[in-house]
Amino acid sequence: MLAGERGDDNVAAAIIFSAILLIAWTILQVAVVLLGRGVALEAARDGVHSARLPPVNTAAAASAAAGYVTRATGSWLNHVAAHAKTDGRNVSVTVTGEAVSLVPFAQFPISQTSSGPIEELRP
Protein backbone atom coordinates (compact mmCIF):
# COMPACT_ATOMS: atom_id res chain seq x y z
CA MET A 1 0.00 0.00 0.00
CA LEU A 2 1.34 3.42 -0.89
CA ALA A 3 1.44 6.19 1.67
CA GLY A 4 -1.36 8.31 0.13
CA GLU A 5 -3.83 5.47 -0.59
CA ARG A 6 -5.09 4.71 2.89
CA GLY A 7 -8.93 4.43 2.92
CA ASP A 8 -9.44 4.56 -0.84
CA ASP A 9 -11.20 1.18 -0.86
CA ASN A 10 -13.82 2.42 1.58
CA VAL A 11 -14.60 5.48 -0.50
CA ALA A 12 -14.81 3.42 -3.69
CA ALA A 13 -17.13 0.90 -2.02
CA ALA A 14 -19.40 3.69 -0.73
CA ILE A 15 -19.67 5.20 -4.22
CA ILE A 16 -20.32 1.85 -5.89
CA PHE A 17 -22.95 0.77 -3.35
CA SER A 18 -24.68 4.14 -3.63
CA ALA A 19 -24.84 3.75 -7.41
CA ILE A 20 -26.23 0.22 -7.07
CA LEU A 21 -28.94 1.42 -4.66
CA LEU A 22 -29.86 4.28 -7.00
CA ILE A 23 -30.21 1.88 -9.93
CA ALA A 24 -32.34 -0.52 -7.85
CA TRP A 25 -34.54 2.38 -6.67
CA THR A 26 -35.02 3.52 -10.27
CA ILE A 27 -35.94 0.01 -11.41
CA LEU A 28 -38.55 -0.24 -8.65
CA GLN A 29 -40.05 3.15 -9.56
CA VAL A 30 -40.27 2.20 -13.24
CA ALA A 31 -41.98 -1.07 -12.26
CA VAL A 32 -44.54 0.79 -10.14
CA VAL A 33 -45.31 3.22 -12.98
CA LEU A 34 -45.67 0.42 -15.52
CA LEU A 35 -47.93 -1.50 -13.13
CA GLY A 36 -50.06 1.61 -12.71
CA ARG A 37 -50.32 2.11 -16.46
CA GLY A 38 -51.33 -1.51 -17.01
CA VAL A 39 -53.99 -1.40 -14.32
CA ALA A 40 -55.36 1.92 -15.60
CA LEU A 41 -55.62 0.54 -19.14
CA GLU A 42 -57.34 -2.64 -17.98
CA ALA A 43 -59.74 -0.57 -15.87
CA ALA A 44 -60.60 1.56 -18.91
CA ARG A 45 -61.21 -1.62 -20.94
CA ASP A 46 -63.45 -2.95 -18.16
CA GLY A 47 -65.43 0.29 -18.21
CA VAL A 48 -65.85 0.10 -21.99
CA HIS A 49 -66.93 -3.53 -21.75
CA SER A 50 -69.63 -2.65 -19.23
CA ALA A 51 -71.01 0.18 -21.38
CA ARG A 52 -71.05 -1.38 -24.85
CA LEU A 53 -74.51 -2.91 -24.61
CA PRO A 54 -77.50 -0.62 -25.09
CA PRO A 55 -78.71 1.37 -23.25
CA VAL A 56 -75.31 2.97 -22.80
CA ASN A 57 -74.73 4.17 -19.25
CA THR A 58 -71.56 6.28 -19.02
CA ALA A 59 -71.89 6.69 -15.25
CA ALA A 60 -71.89 2.91 -14.80
CA ALA A 61 -68.87 2.63 -17.11
CA ALA A 62 -66.89 5.17 -15.08
CA SER A 63 -67.95 3.46 -11.86
CA ALA A 64 -66.88 0.04 -13.18
CA ALA A 65 -63.49 1.42 -14.19
CA ALA A 66 -62.88 3.08 -10.82
CA GLY A 67 -64.02 -0.07 -9.04
CA TYR A 68 -61.57 -2.17 -11.03
CA VAL A 69 -58.67 0.06 -10.00
CA THR A 70 -59.66 -0.21 -6.35
CA ARG A 71 -59.94 -4.00 -6.52
CA ALA A 72 -56.75 -4.51 -8.52
CA THR A 73 -54.26 -2.18 -6.89
CA GLY A 74 -55.33 -1.07 -3.47
CA SER A 75 -52.90 1.80 -3.03
CA TRP A 76 -50.63 1.58 -6.10
CA LEU A 77 -52.61 4.34 -7.80
CA ASN A 78 -53.66 7.53 -6.02
CA HIS A 79 -56.16 10.21 -7.01
CA VAL A 80 -57.93 7.88 -9.46
CA ALA A 81 -60.63 9.36 -11.66
CA ALA A 82 -62.57 7.65 -14.43
CA HIS A 83 -64.50 9.50 -17.12
CA ALA A 84 -66.71 7.96 -19.78
CA LYS A 85 -68.23 9.52 -22.86
CA THR A 86 -70.12 8.41 -25.90
CA ASP A 87 -70.82 9.85 -29.31
CA GLY A 88 -73.73 7.52 -30.06
CA ARG A 89 -71.62 5.00 -31.96
CA ASN A 90 -68.60 4.52 -29.71
CA VAL A 91 -67.98 4.62 -26.00
CA SER A 92 -64.69 5.82 -24.53
CA VAL A 93 -63.40 5.54 -20.96
CA THR A 94 -60.38 7.42 -19.63
CA VAL A 95 -58.77 6.49 -16.32
CA THR A 96 -56.34 8.94 -14.76
CA GLY A 97 -54.35 8.69 -11.58
CA GLU A 98 -50.96 9.08 -10.01
CA ALA A 99 -48.55 6.23 -9.42
CA VAL A 100 -47.09 5.84 -5.96
CA SER A 101 -43.81 7.69 -5.83
CA LEU A 102 -40.72 6.22 -4.22
CA VAL A 103 -38.90 9.48 -4.92
CA PRO A 104 -39.77 12.34 -2.55
CA PHE A 105 -41.64 15.23 -4.17
CA ALA A 106 -41.84 13.48 -7.56
CA GLN A 107 -45.15 12.87 -9.31
CA PHE A 108 -45.88 10.24 -11.93
CA PRO A 109 -49.24 10.97 -13.60
CA ILE A 110 -50.94 8.17 -15.50
CA SER A 111 -53.71 8.42 -18.07
CA GLN A 112 -55.04 5.54 -20.15
CA THR A 113 -57.98 5.52 -22.57
CA SER A 114 -59.91 2.69 -24.13
CA SER A 115 -62.78 2.87 -26.60
CA GLY A 116 -65.02 0.51 -28.48
CA PRO A 117 -68.15 0.46 -30.61
CA ILE A 118 -71.57 0.24 -29.02
CA GLU A 119 -73.16 -3.12 -29.78
CA GLU A 120 -76.19 -3.08 -32.01
CA LEU A 121 -78.74 -5.73 -31.21
CA ARG A 122 -80.64 -6.75 -34.33
CA PRO A 123 -83.17 -9.59 -34.59
Residue 3 has pLDDT above 70, yes or no: no
pLDDT tens, 72-81? 887 788 899 9
- C-alpha R_g of the chain: 23
Q: Check if the beta carbon of residue 39 is closer than 8 Å to that of residue 66.
A: no
Q: List pLDDT tens digits, range 18-64.
A: 999 999 999 999 999 999 999 999 999 999 999 888 888 899 999 99
Cis peptide before 123 (omega within 30 of 0): no
Of 1, 80, 82, whose CA–CA distance to 36 is shortest? 80
Q: Which residue has the higher pLDDT, 74 or 11?
A: 11
Q: Are 70 and 100 in contact (CB under 8 A)?
A: no
Task: Count how many Cα atoms sit within 13 Å of the Cα of residue 80 in the half-sphere of its side chain.
Answer: 30
Domain ranges for the chain, please list them: 8-117
- What's the confidence (pLDDT) of residue 27? 95
Q: Is the per-residue pLDDT at 95 higher than 90?
A: yes
**What pLDDT was estimated at residue 76?**
80
Total count of residues recorded for the chain: 123
